[in-house]
Structure 1
């Protein structure tokens, strides 16, 4: 059995898929997707899809652990001694994949707001093309949370036999009006910032509106219960600790994410709806051909159990897990001890071991 780890976690590992036509009919030239690929060379593949401000580094490295480090890795729930994992930075992202900050090959200038609108389906189609170029023609499972869960749900409908299992965490079959409302607040905060300059800002760091957008998002990602337990109205000097925490989160997002990318991905999330061109929710759900596992988290304001579980029950071969947590929506990023073993056992039920091929 080979345990060679293929493709190191390098920021500049990319695959070029060439020209790519979007759902809108517009075509992007010279499209690249940055990716991380880790695990035994001949092992079954698990495709991991990241959330809104995530990136391709789900595993990461010992120096820079990935955003799902502890859930994905050697001996973890997604065990990289048994599976090979692949994670792409999404189309429209800002960590190496083609997006608004990329250079338009025709104008030799950054796309900025001239980048065409993208959908969750565009993101999935682009990853499918990239996987083929990586000589991956089937995967054991597609796994993702939040925006990554939206991708997972579309994967199962766009390429229903490409995988053996689907895991959609903290994601609904369509984005609720509540979710769209908060996305709108975040988008307006960015767009109405004079420094935004219609997407032509000089530096991300100048965008105070981006800070506000992130703060608004953080309120929905966590629960009031968690904030109360963690901060308990403690005050340092002139600010309450919760205020300092919000300021910190607002500053941090500007260091690691592009505001234009943020806007494009918010818009893609707004339009997420598996019913589009597929009929009713029940008609869409019956099109899943492989087991669909859904996970909801207590206090998730954006993607509540009340929307996820009934949808899951419409699919022929599905199972739903509800996780008790104070973290709310961000529950899919933490407390792996609560639900990681469930994921581990489901992934390994019927998994085909290709190590000896």
Structure 2
């Protein structure tokens, strides 16, 4: 196997947007590849983790993208941080009894920026993320703390929709009624927004779909943490690139970063037209529409339907300026 590291950074005191403090910020991360190769920063989604590549015994959630040749491991080095608030090793309510009561997306991104600096990076060749990962990518671009050559944003828009927030609130209410069973219900509810009705009809009979939903809920309640999920729902709801800012269009229009957005058909949460409209705020922008019928989760599935667009975007050296 190529050079592979999973470790935890300890980064000292960290103050959130709300003014709360994490006394010793911990960031769990995965790195695969070698120094000197172009750096790919991968930002994970809501309930994801830092194991993008994983191991042969337990492949990571985007292992197929890398080993499938779309972003070959011999061409790039990959870095993924587990976001704070998540139960998979970074600072969270699970390992810090004084963890902040409320986090925002901007807190997650500032923590990642501290991690990048601690590892000695000043330039990111490619930053890529889907859903909550795409939102993190937007904030990284706005902050301009690092020079970024290319950015890929999948199934994400410039703010969390009211529709998404409504589902998040139902999930909260379920968890507040009963932590364990509520977490299962929240996950089952989430799955209905991650997949399209067409994909459900193609995959399941009416009796099969009930057991599938229950399976997903039971698996999630045994592998995630209710308080962490509540924290991350707050993070998701906080996303609005324009919140408190009046210069976002100007910043994005002047960035030299080449940006590709991908929207997926039947994405209930972040429809293709809104993904495209967000991307058009950038000076250098290419949009791709993915006509599979899985829905929002398309960025985690059916890679052959959309990853060729990623491959070609990474190979292109010039993108037409607006």
TM-score relative to the length of structure 1: 0.85
Indicate if the aligned counterparts of 1:160 and 1:290 stay in contact, CA closer than 8 A.
no
* 1:298 and 2:265 matched: yes
Distance in 2, Cα, partners of 1:155 & 1:217: 26
Distance, in Å, in 2 between the alignment partners of 1:288 and 1:263 is 34
Structure-to-structure mapping, 1:215-294, within 5 angstroms: 215-233=188-206, 240-279=207-246, 282-283=249-250, 285-286=252-253, 288-294=255-261
Counterpart selection for 1:156 from 141, 166, 175: 141
| Secondary structure in structure 2 of the residue aligned to 1:79 | coil
2-side partners of 1:47 and 1:17: how far apart?
A: 19
Q: Which moved more, 1:183-192 or 1:152-161?
A: 152-161
Which residue pairs with 1:95 in the alignment?
88
* CA-CA distance at 1:280 after TM superposition: 7.3
- TM-score scaled by length of structure 2: 0.94
User: CA–CA distance in 2 between the matches of 1:5 and 1:68?
Assistant: 16
Whether 2:122 is the aligned partner of 1:125: answer no
Question: Is 1:26 aligned to 2:20, yes or no?
Answer: yes
CA contact (8 A) 2:171 2:185 kept: yes
Larger radius of gyration: 1
**CA separation of 1:176/1:116 partners in 2, compared to 1, >3 Å: closer, same or farther?**
same
2:239 and 2:250 map into 1 onto residues whose CA distance is 16
In the aligned structure 1, how far is the partner of 2:132 from the partner of 2:70? Answer: 21
Which residues of 2 match residues 1-357 of structure 1 at below 5 A?
A: 5-8=2-5, 10=6, 13-73=7-67, 76-103=69-96, 110-111=97-98, 115-159=100-144, 161-193=146-178, 196=179, 207-233=180-206, 240-279=207-246, 282-283=249-250, 285-286=252-253, 288-350=255-317
What is the alpha-carbon root mean square deviation over aligned residues?
A: 1.8
Q: Which runs of 5+ in 1 are unaligned?
A: 104-109, 197-206, 234-239, 352-357
Verify the 8 A CA contact 1:294 1:319 in the aligned structure 2: yes
Measured in 1, the distance between the counterparts of 2:14 and 2:254 equals: 26
> Separation in 1 of the partners of 2:252 and 2:272?
17
Post-superposition offset of 1:136: 1.5
1:339/1:330 Cα in 2 relative to 1: closer, same or farther (>3 Å)?
Answer: same
Q: Quick one: structure 1 residues 300 and 281, their matched pair in 2 at CA, closer, same or farther if it must change by over 3 Å?
A: farther
Inter-partner Cα distance in structure 1 for 2:33 and 2:46: 25
Please give the alpha-carbon distance, in whole angstroms, between the structure 2 residues aligned to 1:96 and 1:311: 32
